[in-house]
Structure 1
Amino acid sequence: MFTTDESFRGGGEKICDCCGNPSQRTWTMVERDGRPYAVYFAACYDHGHERESWIDVVFGTWGEGDEYDDHLTFGCRFGPVVNSPLPAATAVDAAFVAPDGPLYGEKLSRTAALAHPRIADFWQVVDFVVECDPLVHEHHYGHRPQS
């Protein structure tokens, strides 16, 4: 069972480079069975005709010093897709707009992510984020998630 560490939650606003509209950002630690499991970063964009979120999930060892050797980052875009009335998640190159650094560890390409043994773990965290993160959920569904 996933939960979030709200003491770790952050966020902010940034102006989109492509359209000049503000984007909202959020991040926090995901815990599994009460233990640190992953960190996610989500950026929610409203380009007028479509709403989308870009979500990066970082897996690795947490809370044991500054060791990042095992960190691994997956990325996805959540939003409108062809031939569907509902938004969907699509794997993308991970954290491609974020600067390289030890926190992200190995940033997986879309191709590498889809073939990686932890892809199912990634999709579970993405489902949790879309369902439970207040900003991401409201951005796509127009209301806060139900508790």
Structure 2
Amino acid sequence: MLTFDEGWRGGTTHACDCCGNASRRTWTMVNRDDQPYAVFFAACYDHGHERETWIDVVFGTWGQGDYHDHVTFGCRFGPVAGSDAPAATAVDAAEVAPDDPMFGQKLTRAEALSHPRVKEFWEVVDFVVLSDPLVHPHHYEHSA
């Protein structure tokens, strides 16, 4: 079972580079069966006519200061052609994140889609979109 580690949660607000609207950001540890499992970072944008969230998920060993096995996936969640509902699309991971060993290998979209952990990545994205107190209401306008 996936849960958030609320003691690890952070958040900020920035002005969007393209439109100046507020961009809200959040991050926290995701636990699986009460054990550290992944970290996600989400940036929610409201461009007036379009709401989108960019999500990065980092998998690896946690709590040891060793990042040799870390791998980062990325996606954009928002409007897609041919659908009335928002959807997640794989993108190159952590493109705007600083170079930091915590991110490990930042996967390209193609690398992510063929990676052995891609199913786990989509599971975490689903959990974040359905349960996160910032991301869920950003798209669905009600609390998770």
Shorter-normalised TM-score: what interval?
over 0.9
Q: Paired residue for 1:33? A: 33
Aligned length: 144
Shift, 1:63, TM fit: 1.1
**3-state secondary structure, aligned to 2:39:** strand
Name the structure 2 match of 1:49: 49
RMSD between superposed Cα atoms in Å = 0.5
Q: Which runs of 5+ in 1 are unaligned?
A: none
One-letter code of the match for 2:124? V
Can you list the C-alpha shifts for 1:37-82, whole angstroms capped at 9, x where unaligned? 0000000000011000000000000012x10111100000000000
AA of the residue aligned to 1:110: R
Structure-2 separation of matches of 1:68 and 1:115: 21
Indicate the SS of the match to 2:95.
coil
* Structure 1 Cα separation of the partners of residues 48 and 6 of structure 2: 30
Question: What is the CA distance between 1:123 and its match in structure 2?
Answer: 0.1
What displacement does 1:6 show? Answer: 0.4
Q: Which residue of 2 aligns with 1:19?
A: 19
Q: Distance in 2 between matches of 1:125 and 1:51?
A: 20
1:71-82 equivalences under 5 Å are 71-82=70-81
Percentage of matched positions with identical amino acids: 70
TM-score, structure 1 as length reference: 0.97
C-alpha separation in 1, matches of 2:123 and 2:83:
21
Counterpart of 1:25 in structure 2: which amino acid? Answer: R
Alignment of 1:136-147 (within 5 A): 136-145=135-144
Residue deviations 1:19-41 (CA, integer Å, cap 9, x gap): 11110000000000110000000
Q: Post-superposition, which runs of at least 4 consecutive aligned residues in structure 1 deviate over 2 A?
A: none
**Counterparts of 1:134 and 1:84 in 2: how far apart (Å)?**
24
SS at the partner of 2:100? coil
Structure 2 CA distance, aligned partners of 1:51 and 1:57?
Answer: 20
- Structure 2: which 5+ runs fail to align? none
